[in-house]
Each structure stands twice: as C-alpha cells, then as structure tokens.
Structure 1
C-alpha cells in the first residue's frame, strides 16, 4: 500500500522554525558530550602523573629497606578513597615487578599508564645536598575512567533532559504561533487564488469580447462594404460599356478610362476587404478546422517570405477543438509567425502543435538573432499571447538567447467546459 504524505502550510512553517533549532540542539549536544569525554580523560592523565610522582618518595624508602608492606597499605588506602585508580605497580631497575596492587570493582583501565622513576641519590656530607646517580625502580599507575564517565553521563543526561524540556517548550510555542499565522497565510493565499481566477475570467471575457467584435466587424465589411464595392465595380463596368458604344470622341474615351480606373480601384478595395475579413475572422477555421487553418497560414507566410523556410508539424486529434479554443491557438501561432517575419531575421522557423490528452502543446522556434528580455521591452504581441494563455489557465515559456523558442501549454478541458 502506497502512503502519500501531504505537508500543509502549518507543517512547512513549523519545519522552517524548528529545523534550525533542532540542528543547533543536536550540534551543541554532541559537542557537550564529546567535551565531557575529553575532560574526563584529560583529568585522568593529570591525576595519574601526579599520583605516580607522589608515590616515588614512599617507593624509594621501600626499595632501600626491601620492605613493601607499608607501601602496600598506603596504596590500598589510595585505591579505596579514589575510584579512578585502577592499578599501581612498583618495578625494580630491571623493570621486574616488585609490588602490584589492583583495585576491586568493575572499572576498565585505560590502555596507557603513567610512570615516574625512583632515583638513586648520592649524599654529600661536606657539601650538603645530593645528586642522582641512577634509577632504583619505577612506579606505574593505571587509571580507570569508568566511574568518572558514569558520573559525567549522569550529569549529561540531566542536562539533556532540561534541554529537551526547553526544546519541547519552544516547539509548543512555535505550534501556537504558527496556528494564527498559518490561518492568515491560508486566507491570503485563497484571496490571491480567487483574484487570479477572477483575473483569468476577466481576461477570457475580454478576449471573447474582442473576438466577437472582430467577427461583427468582419461581417459588416463582408456584407456591406464588399457588397457595395461589388456594386460600384459593376456600375463602373456598365459606364465603360456605355462609353464604348458612343462615337469615338475624346470625352467618350476619358469616360471609358475613368470607369475602368474606378473598376480597378473597387477591385483593389474589395481584395483588401477580403484580406481584412480573413484577419479579423479566419474563414479557414470554419472551413478546414484548426489543423487545416494552420497549414494554410504557414503556407501563405512561407510564400510571402521566401527568405525563411517555414514548417508545420501536428500531432493528435483536433476535431473537438472549435470556437474559442481554435481561435486562441490560431491567434497565438499567427502572432508568433508575425514576430518572426518582423524581427527574427531567421532562415528557418518550425511550428509544432500537438494534443496530448487534455492539453494542447504549442511550440514555435526559429534560428534568428533572438533578443535579451532584460534589455528589450516586451511588445504588444507577446503581451497578447501571455494574456490569452493566462486567461485559459495555461503556461507560457520563452527562450530567446539563441534564436527564439516559445513553448505554450493550454488545458483543453477548460475550453470544452467553456464551449
């Protein structure tokens, strides 16, 4: 069974607050423990050397007399009063053991030992004083850190318990403080999401209104202006025909020439109107669908600008895309190709449109000069593309350091629901 953990806003805030404190707590705890260990071993080293040096005097008398009972009694007393002493050994000059006293208990000795030499002294009667002339033996002391480490661990555990209590208090305070902050942050995030959703709805309404207005203007141009231009052309052609039936005079010739000029002007205005209608409301979308309209657009742009080679690759089923969906995709590709023609100075340009499930992927790339977004202000075309994508809840990405590549993802499901 797969378990998915979800960390909410409050959990993130607690992590941000407590993780640095916890890391500091662990670091200081480890440092305190290691410091106590080092202090114990340093104290044992100092005490061991002092004990070995202190036992030298008593050992010298015992070595001279050859009697070690008094020295053994002294060492036994020291072992009973100081649990850190594990073993005391007296050696002769040849390092043969003469006396070995070991403490009772469970203490574990250190690997090292501390040694002091018992010197042989030559006494000067006339001059006063003495001089070392050799060694009679050696005193070795082995220390055991067991008892001291046990006491150090007990103190450390007490300090650790106090520190943990403080850490729990900090965690409780953080929990209480993040409660109100998390609620406020959630409310702010919800307000931001609501504002963003409202912005997308407004952008979508504006885009729809603009497309509706374009369609209205296109219909008015097609039904009224173009119809009037057709009538003007027909009337001019009739005038030219009537002038041709008149006797050949200069006036009749001028009337025929003027009528033919009016016919040409009317035809030019009619073609311009047709072009404007196609730009306002692409007829190819209604006739061929999105895929066919894109193919026709790329073909027309390529034939009008032979210096750049344009190509189109489509993938997926576009049959269900109509209305606002097809218009938005068409306008985005149209604006991207317009920017390539105007600014890119490219040799090749590739358009890729693919539908994968509930998403439509659009990519337009060229090998032109590119531009630096930090130094070049974004044009109206790019801003319009971003607004269209944002209104539909999609994503927009652009790479323009080497050539220009625009990558857009639009959710198809939102379109279908809207239509």
Structure 2
C-alpha cells in the first residue's frame, strides 16, 4: 500500500470530519422531510375522512351519491395528495369508490371515519347519535408531496454542496502552505535528531577513548610501579634476614612482607579497573567471547542467581562502536540485576540477523513500575548508546524485567 503524503494526510484529517458531518446532516434532512410528508398526509387524510363522513350522511340515507362524487372530485382536483375515496355501508360493503387519475401510488395505510345516524329534535334543538350508517375511507398518495420536498431538498443539497466545495478548496489551499511548513519542521527535527545521534556517538567514542587512555596509563605506569615496589619489598625481606639484632630484623621482614601484600592487592585492583575501563577480552575474544566471560564471572561472583548466555549468529567483524556499546549495555543490565532485581535467573540473548544485532536481557526478579519509579542513570545511559547508533530500545517491567535492543549493522 503506497504511503500517503503529508499534505494528503492533512487533507484527510481536516476534511473527513466535515464530510461525515455533511453526509449525516444530508441524511437527517432527507429523513426528516419524509417524516414531514407522512405527518402532513396523516393530518390531511384524517380531516378529509371526517369532513366527508359529516357530509355523506344525507347521501347515504337517500341513496343518491352524485352530489357526494362531485364533491370528492372537486377535492381531488384541489388536492393532488388525495388518491382514493371509498364509501362503505354499515356492513363495509363498497357503495362509492372514486380514484384520482393522477399517476401517484396510494399509501398502504388509509384513514377512516364513521358516518353516524343522527336523530334530530324539533323542540329544544340538537341531535343525538343513534348508530353507524357507514364508513368513509381515504387513501392518500405521497408522490406529489415527496416530489415537491425532493425539489426543495435538491436545492438545499446543491447549496450545501457548494459550501462544502468551498470549504474543501479552502482547506486544500491552507494545507499547501501548512504542509510545506510541517515538512520543513520535520526535516529540521530529523536533522536535529541526526545531529544528536552523531553528538552522542562522538561523546561515547570520546569516553571510550579516555577510558582506554586511563587504562593504558594504569597498566603501564601504576602497575609497573607496583611491580617495582613489590620487588623492592622482597629485597628488603631478603636483607632483613641478614640484619642484626634478630628481633629488629624480624620486624623489618614483617613490614616488607606487608608492603608486598599491599602492592599485590593494589596490582590486582588495578588489573580489575583496567578490565572495567577497557575490556581487553573484547579485543581478544570478540563480542560473543567477551559476553561469555562476563556472564561466567557474574555466575561465579553471585551464586544466588543463575546467569546464562544464548548466542546465535556470526559476530565476527562487528564494528568497534557497535561491539563496545553492546558490551557496555549488557554490563549495565547485569549490574542492575545484581543491585536491584533480587532475581533467581537471568538470561542474555544475542542474535545477529537481517543486518541487525538483537540483544535481550531478562530476569525473573521483582521488576518495577515505570509510572512510580524514576528512570535510573544506567537505563538512561543504555538508551543514549542505542540512540547514538540509530537503534531501538524497549523495556518491559511486569513479572521481572526484560530489556530488548536492536542495533543496525553496517553492510
């Protein structure tokens, strides 16, 4: 399905409610006019039946219907809505049946009025109903009234359509400039987002370069100095064994051995700091091997939680920025699990497919509610790394925590 342009979408947004309103009002107007016709026919039909019933008593009693027929024909000529008039006796046997010569179709309903037999009083005046002599049935035709209403409806529809066309043309002209402005704004936002990604990538690269520089200085300077201190302390221990008196020599030897232990502890701390600042294992073993080493280290150091790695695909030849970012993201995620999750199991999944690197880190810990828990620095840092590489980041916090990351790979 082709993607709609920005202007087309703006037109749809602005004109669709207007079209719905136009169709709704048009349908309502049409239905209301038909209801008006039916109501008018009902009122006129009932009045006509009552009038004919009032004037038909004498014709029915005398059996002379010519005058009544003439009256009915006159009514039909004056009112094209009257289609058929039938005069019935008391047993509902047709006596007079007059039908208009118009082409309209009669309605299924009819209007009926009884013809009452009245007893007149000479003295005192007035009359009294003493029975029913017959009935008058009137059938109306809505054809003429509907045609009249239809003409009025078409005129109103034409005026409304012109107004609708005017609104649509105005919307079309307005969206022209607005679409151009929106398009330029979107381009500016995309450019700003791209610049932000480049800035984040430069910042991450600068941070990693600085870490590498610090790691090299620790490795080359501090560790070398600690090795020298350790050797000097060992020589002091050897000289102390030859010194006199013996108690003083023993104290000197103990101090020298203490210095040796401290130097060795500082050396190991320096090596650990160097690995954290610049994971040499990443350069030697690649991403998969480095993550295996990391997961195994967490497994050894945290026996309360079982850590596992699942890797699928060929991870050789990954771009250095992608590899170090993936390593740091998993490192931060596992650190958060140890600090906050209280989990019993944690899994790292690594997959390379369709030109993307997919990373998922999941645990069965306590999770958290993003609506009530502020986003930590670690998660913000992971998001920034992913954004800098143009990837996707998603986190689910129900029944533990699951972080899913997708990074694009250069072809």
Aligned partner of 1:301 in structure 2 is 298
Superposition deviation, residue 322 in structure 1: 4.3
Superposition deviation, residue 228 in structure 1: 2.0
Q: RMSD of the TM alignment (CA)?
A: 1.7
Aligned partner of 1:153 in structure 2 is 150
Whether 1:127 aligns to 2:124 is yes
Cα distance change, pair 342–126 in 1 and its aligned pair in 2 (3 A):
closer
Report 1:261-300 matches (<5 A). 261-300=258-297
Whether 1:200 aligns to 2:197 is yes
Counterpart contact for 1:9–1:186, Cα < 8 Å: yes
Equivalent residues, number: 411
Partner Cα separation in structure 1 for residue 121 and residue 314 of structure 2: 118
Partner Cα separation in structure 2 for residue 126 and residue 376 of structure 1: 101
Aligned partner of 2:91 in structure 1 is 94
Partner Cα separation in structure 2 for residue 79 and residue 380 of structure 1: 91
Partner Cα separation in structure 1 for residue 173 and residue 377 of structure 2: 49
SS in 2 for 1:355: strand
SS in 2 for 1:223: helix
For structure 1, which runs of at least 5 residues remain unmatched after alignment? none
Match of 1:384 among 381, 388, 408: 381
Partner Cα separation in structure 2 for residue 379 and residue 116 of structure 1: 86
Aligned partner of 2:315 in structure 1 is 318
Match of 2:237 among 236, 240, 249: 240
Cα distance change, pair 140–380 in 1 and its aligned pair in 2 (3 A):
closer
Whether 1:185 aligns to 2:182 is yes
Aligned partner of 2:133 in structure 1 is 136
Cα distance per residue 1:294-343 (max 9 Å; x no partner): 01101111111111111111111111214212111111011111111122
Superposition deviation, residue 47 in structure 1: 0.8
Counterpart contact for 2:295–2:309, Cα < 8 Å: yes
Partner Cα separation in structure 2 for residue 346 and residue 379 of structure 1: 18
Aligned partner of 2:64 in structure 1 is 67
Superposition deviation, residue 77 in structure 1: 2.1
Match of 1:36 among 30, 33, 36: 33
Cα distance change, pair 250–126 in 1 and its aligned pair in 2 (3 A):
closer
For structure 2, which runs of at least 5 residues remain unmatched after alignment? none
Give the TM-score of the pair, scaled to structure 1: 0.93
Moved >6 Å (runs of 4+): none
Partner Cα separation in structure 1 for residue 178 and residue 138 of structure 2: 64
Aligned partner of 2:164 in structure 1 is 167
Mean Cα displacement is larger for which, 37-46 or 379-388? 379-388
Whether 1:85 aligns to 2:119 is no
Match of 2:351 among 326, 336, 354: 354
Mean Cα displacement is larger for which, 54-63 or 75-84? 54-63
SS in 2 for 1:86: strand
SS in 2 for 1:353: strand
Mean Cα displacement is larger for which, 403-412 or 301-310? 403-412
Superposition deviation, residue 381 in structure 1: 1.7
Superposition deviation, residue 379 in structure 1: 2.5
Partner Cα separation in structure 1 for residue 378 and residue 195 of structure 2: 23
Whether 1:334 aligns to 2:331 is yes
Counterpart contact for 1:289–1:322, Cα < 8 Å: no
Superposition deviation, residue 246 in structure 1: 4.6
Match of 2:372 among 364, 371, 375: 375
Partner Cα separation in structure 1 for residue 125 and residue 266 of structure 2: 138
Give the TM-score of the pair, scaled to structure 2: 0.95
Cα distance per residue 1:56-81 (max 9 Å; x no partner): 24422222332222222222222222
SS in 1 for 2:172: helix
Cα distance per residue 1:125-182 (max 9 Å; x no partner): 2332222212222221111111111111111111111111111111111111222222
Partner Cα separation in structure 2 for residue 405 and residue 167 of structure 1: 52
Cα distance change, pair 178–249 in 1 and its aligned pair in 2 (3 A):
same
Cα distance change, pair 374–60 in 1 and its aligned pair in 2 (3 A):
closer
Superposition deviation, residue 110 in structure 1: 0.8
SS in 2 for 1:240: helix
SS in 2 for 1:54: helix
